[in-house]
Amino acid sequence: MELIDILRPLGRWWWLVLIPTIIALIASLPSVPTSLRPPHTYGATIRFSAAAPPTAMNELAAANDNLARSGTYEDTAYVPWLASEYLVVNLPQWVTSSRFANAVSEELAKQGFNIDAKDVQAAFNADGARSIFVVYYGWDNEPELEAIINASIVVLQTRTSEVFPQLATEPAMIIPLDDIHIVSTAPSITARLRPFIQVLIGLLAGIGLAYLAAYLDNYIHNKHDLETLELSVLGEIPSSPK
């Protein structure tokens, strides 16, 4: 089989190639400017240690309870670390919640930054392991991002009692382990090439449709179709006069 025979279905069913390609092109047009000129964004990552401090009420109860194992390894080491792990497991859920965003927005207003809580909520992502939890920050303005980070630290250190009943009498002890270090971030290569990849997928889909149509086509269009069936062609009558 010659190359021209392989390409012949594309010429015959060219409109099947164009349809998905054009659809993909139209769908990807809105994201082309962003891909050519991606927005400038900034990010930061801060690790925190967290612990639920013992309250005076708990200490008094332990001192007056003959069965309390005050001073043992479990009381002085294991239980505080275990409580810390339980706290860290739940802190990321709070950091990504609307109440945390509202609290940060209120703190920002005190600093002179008027940023809506719904916008602020998108700036946070968090995760935790053992007694350390991590907050990931992302924003499109560097000074505002620094203010958001500082406001979030204040909220973390002062307002845990508002959302965790276990800490109703005293807020958790939360200490940042990293200094604020803001870096410029860029979208991934895949994100920047997404519109062009969509068009390429549309083109490949169209080529596939053309070959599928050629495979399912039972009509004889020219002598090449007869030769494909291994039938001898005795002569050819032109469809139009020369």
* Pairing status of strand 173-176 against strand 183-185: unpaired
* Burial degree of 234 (CB within 10 A; 0-12, 13-18, 19+): exposed
**Amino acid residing at 34:** T
pLDDT at 67: 45
Which bin fits 240, alpha (ψ -120 to 50), beta or left (φ > 0)? beta
Task: Classify the C-alpha dihedral 198-203-207-209 as positive or negative.
Answer: positive
pLDDT at 201: 95
pLDDT at 61: 43
* Cα 152 to Cα 100: distance, rounded to the nearest angstrom: 8
* Cα 238 to Cα 93: distance, rounded to the nearest angstrom: 76
Beta bridge partners of 176: 48
pLDDT at 215: 85
* Cα 112 to Cα 175: distance, rounded to the nearest angstrom: 25
* Residue 238 vs residues 11, 15, 220: alpha-carbon distances, Å: 19, 25, 15
Task: Classify the C-alpha dihedral 164-178-111-138 as positive or negative.
Answer: negative
Pick from 118, 67, 115: which is nearest to 97 by CA? Answer: 118
Query: Where are the chain's structural domains?
Result: 3-35+190-229, 41-186
* Pairing status of strand 124-129 against strand 132-139: antiparallel
pLDDT values of the chain reduced to their tens digit, one per residue, 242 residues? 567 777 888 888 899 999 999 999 999 988 888 777 777 789 999 999 888 766 554 454 445 444 444 454 445 556 666 777 777 888 888 888 999 999 999 999 998 899 998 999 989 988 887 778 899 999 988 999 999 999 999 998 988 888 887 777 778 888 899 999 999 887 778 778 888 999 999 999 999 999 999 888 877 766 676 666 666 666 666 654 44
Beta bridge partners of 175: 49
Measured from the Cβ of residue 67, the count of other Cβ atoms closer than 10 Å reads: 5
Is the distance from CB of 77 to CB of 119 less than 8 angstroms?
Answer: no
pLDDT at 65: 47
Phi, psi angle pair for 97, to nearest 5°: -90, 165
pLDDT at 85: 75
Question: Does 41-186 carry CATH code 1.10.3470?
Answer: no
Residue in this structure with the two tokens 């950091």, named with its chain if needed:
95
